[in-house]
Amino acid sequence: MSKEVRVRFAPSPTGPLHIGGVRTALYNYLFARKMGGKFLLRIEDTDQIRFVPGAEEYIKESLEWLNISPDESPWNPGDSAPYRQSERKQDYMKYALDLLEAGHAYYAFDTSDELEAMRERLTAARVVQPQYNSITRTQMKNSLTLPEDEVKARLASGEPYVIRVKIPRKEEVRLNDMIRGWVMVHSSTLDDKVLMKSDGMPTYHLANIVDDHLMGITHVIRGEEWLPSAPLHVLLYKFFGWEDTMPEFAHLPLLLKPDGNGKLSKRDGDKLGFPVFPLNWENKETGETAAGFREQGYLPAAFLNFLAFLGWNPGDDREIFSLEELIDAFSIERIGKSGTKFDIAKAKWFNEQYIRTMSNAELADFLIADAKAEGVEVSKEKAEAIVQLTKERVTFPSDFWSQNKFILQKLEDFDQAIASKKWNQDAVKVLTAYAIALDNFDGTFDASSAKSLLEATAETQGIKLGKVMQAVRLSVTGSGVGPDLMEVFAILGTEDVANRIRFALATLEIID
């Protein structure tokens, strides 16, 4: 029997979760569900300087909003607890020392000034990548160059040190990425990365490998920005003797700016006028804020569907997928290699499609709540009628209120540009007569009877209805455009329509 699939999403709590991170979480979730495995969440908080309070809560809330909560996490621990690296701190040193003993790591005592001097020296000598590596380490202060006694003495005296990995000088490192295929890197291009910092905390590289191993991770699905680190990770698995259980790697394509020029960054949201974060964010300490998809009115299922397509496709032209359908259709083989352009129009399109499939009753609740916030009471029946009328025209649930508040509030203003062109004698004649006809109307007032009555009125006045139609719309809605006018009349009822017409007749100036 093959091993249970265990994947993890491993964000660092350094700020709000970027949309790229949410996509990584989603692909991990889909893969876990598809394979009948487990989706873990591990908080990688070893970098205490970059730690931002509230970021972990934000991650939790984002995943909950999208209904892709992890099976194991800091707030829902399983057998691999703890799920915060800061709480696993005591374990990492042991693993670093194991590597040291096996000759795959070493102590380094160089001060930051000494490191800087090395970089300057190498830059002056036109070394393209000045780094601490198999060549330069021979000239630095570390346990490979210093006599053993001195190393011991320095350690005993409490002198600050780091532990670095000892990258072999000549070795081809190979990994078979599930998305990219074979990736080959020569070890001479890698540097001797720090594994343990002088504050006693592990770096990302060490903690990530140790934890993936201890948590039984079978597949590492993460962003492409981690591909350059993967050869080091492969070497670490080898040095630890964990090659047999080394996870498979899948590096997801980058999310690109809408024009395809470069990676979509955290700051692009402000520049491009759309969110790049799932939820609104506010850093109470710095005052920094960011807009979220949730607060802009994206439905979680629509946003999730949109996200799934940022790098993956089902291989046919279907686009609307529920979470269950995504799980069913998902495969890593169908994730593309090249970056995906971020297209906000597509996100809106998904939202529109999802709104259209929702029931009038569900959507009416959005309208009722928004109206209430403005101090307007609207019955469920009326709200449903409005929703039915405008469902095909909205992008966000909040559009129901903003596009239809003219129906629910007293009309105060008229579009003067339309009035100055259309508010003529003929319009006034027809509307004056129509208001009277409405007063006397007896029967069921629906879109069709509203229309017949209006047509009959115009005919009696000897005026072509088409010529005054925009003025009719203006008098009742205040504007020259909007949903089916006769349906609006039916929702308003005879009395309200007649009152609005009379108000317009009393307010607007006739142009001829």
Residues at the site binding ligand GLU, with contacts judged by CB under 6 A: 10-12, 44, 204, 208, 222, 226
Which residues on neighbouring strands pair with residue 72, listed in sequence order?
40
Assess whether the previous peptide bond of 275 is cis (omega < 30° from 0). Answer: no
| Residue in 263, 266, 346, 467 annotated catalytic | 266
Please tell me what DSSP assigns to residue 203.
P
Tokens linked to 479: 């504007």
**Rounded CA gap, 470 and 263, in Å?**
48
Q: How far is CA 439 from CA 2, 192, 407, 475, 499, in A?
A: 78, 88, 19, 17, 10
Q: What is the 3-state secondary structure (H, E, C) of 425-475?
A: HHHHHHHHHHHHHHHHCCCCCCHHHHHHHHHHHHHHHCCCHHHHHHHHHHH
Give the position of tokens 């809330």.
Answer: 61
Question: Which DSSP helix (H) or strand (E) runs through 122?
Answer: helix 112-124
At its nearest, how many Å lie between ligand GLU and the CB of residue 276?
16
Burial of 105 by CB count in 10 Å (0-12 exposed, 13-18 middle, 19+ buried)? buried
Does residue 38 carry a catalytic annotation?
no
At its nearest, how many Å lie between ligand GLU and the CB of residue 230?
9
Closest to ligand GLU by CB, 17 or 308: 17
CB 277 within 8 A of CB 298: no
At its nearest, how many Å lie between ligand GLU and the CB of residue 447?
55
- Single-letter code of the amino acid located at 28: N
Question: Which DSSP helix (H) or strand (E) runs through 223?
Answer: strand 219-223
Closest to ligand GLU by CB, 204 or 242: 204
Strand 6-9 with 38-41, pairing: parallel
At its nearest, how many Å lie between ligand GLU and the CB of residue 135?
28
Closest to ligand GLU by CB, 17 or 435: 17
At its nearest, how many Å lie between ligand GLU and the CB of residue 9?
7
Max intra-chain CA distance, the chain: 113
**Which candidate, 331, 200, 345, places its Cα nearest to that of 258?**
345
Tokens linked to 131: 């780094």
**Which candidate, 220, 228, 265, places its Cα nearest to that of 19?**
265
Task: Map residue 142 onto helix, strand or coil.
Answer: strand
Which residues on neighbouring strands pair with residue 106, listed in sequence order?
164
CB 35 within 8 A of CB 178: no
**Rounded CA gap, 50 and 101, in Å?**
31
At its nearest, how many Å lie between ligand GLU and the CB of residue 129?
22
At its nearest, how many Å lie between ligand GLU and the CB of residue 106?
24
At its nearest, how many Å lie between ligand GLU and the CB of residue 30?
16
Closest to ligand GLU by CB, 137 or 193: 193
Which residues fall within 8 angstroms of residue 75, CB to CB, at 6 or more apart? 60
Tokens linked to 511: 């142009």
Indicate which residues carry an active-site annotation: 266
